[in-house]
Amino acid sequence: MYICDMQQQTYLKGCLSAIVLQLLQDNSRMYGYEITQRVREITAGELQLTEGALYPTLHKLEAEGVLTTENALVDGRNRKYYKLTESGQQQAQSAVSELADFVTNLQKILNLKPSLS
């Protein structure tokens, strides 16, 4: 399993908000650990969200009103679920779109060749 190095963690921090917003757009609500597992599952272990990076991002988005939370009792303890607000839905679309544009421009600069598949 490929372990993310420090450089990749730096790149990951820059697009963590977009990743979280995209995941929450695809799923009605998710809790913190579920988000880390989902990223690992989608990328087959290539990307690992660290807890120290994820929770500050979730809290910041919640404070800004992009996300809202709801509690549910699971296995005798409270679990905090995050979901997009109405303004969060719009912000999710624009954040993902901006990141996609950024990646396209980055590819032009780095002159990356597309993979043959």
Partner 1 sequence: MSLTPTQLDLISKELIQGGIKYQDLYEELLDHYILAIEDRQAQGQTFESAFGEVHADFVNYKRPARVWDHYGVWKDYTNGGAPEFGIGKLQAEYEENLKGEISKRHWQIMKSYFRWPTLVTTLLVGLFTFQFAYLVPKQYFVWIIFTCAFVPVLLLLPQLILDSRLYFLKKRKFVNSLKISTITGRMFLSLSLFSLFINITNMSNILFEYNLHKQNFVTVSACLTCFYLAYSLSFYQLYSERFKVSLR
Note the Cα 13 to chain centre separation in Å: 10
**Which residues, 22 to 61, sit near partner 1 by CB under 8 A?**
31-33, 37, 50-52, 55-56, 59-60
Q: Report whether 21 contacts 96 (CB < 8 A).
A: yes
Binding footprint of partner 1, residue count (CB under 8 A): 22
Which CB atom, from 44 or from 110, has the smaller least distance to partner 1?
A: 44
Give the one residue of 13, 38, 79, 83 binding partner 1; rule: CB under 8 A: 79
Kindly state whether residue 90 participates in binding partner 1, applying the rule CB under 8 A.
no
Cα 75 from chain centre: 26
Among 78, 104, 115, 117, binds partner 1 (CB under 8 A): 78
DSSP label at 45?
T
Residue 78 forms beta bridges with which residues?
73
- CB-CB contact of 67 with 88 (8 Å): yes
Binding site for partner 1 (CB under 8 A): 31-33, 37, 50-52, 55-56, 59-60, 62-65, 68, 71, 74, 77-80
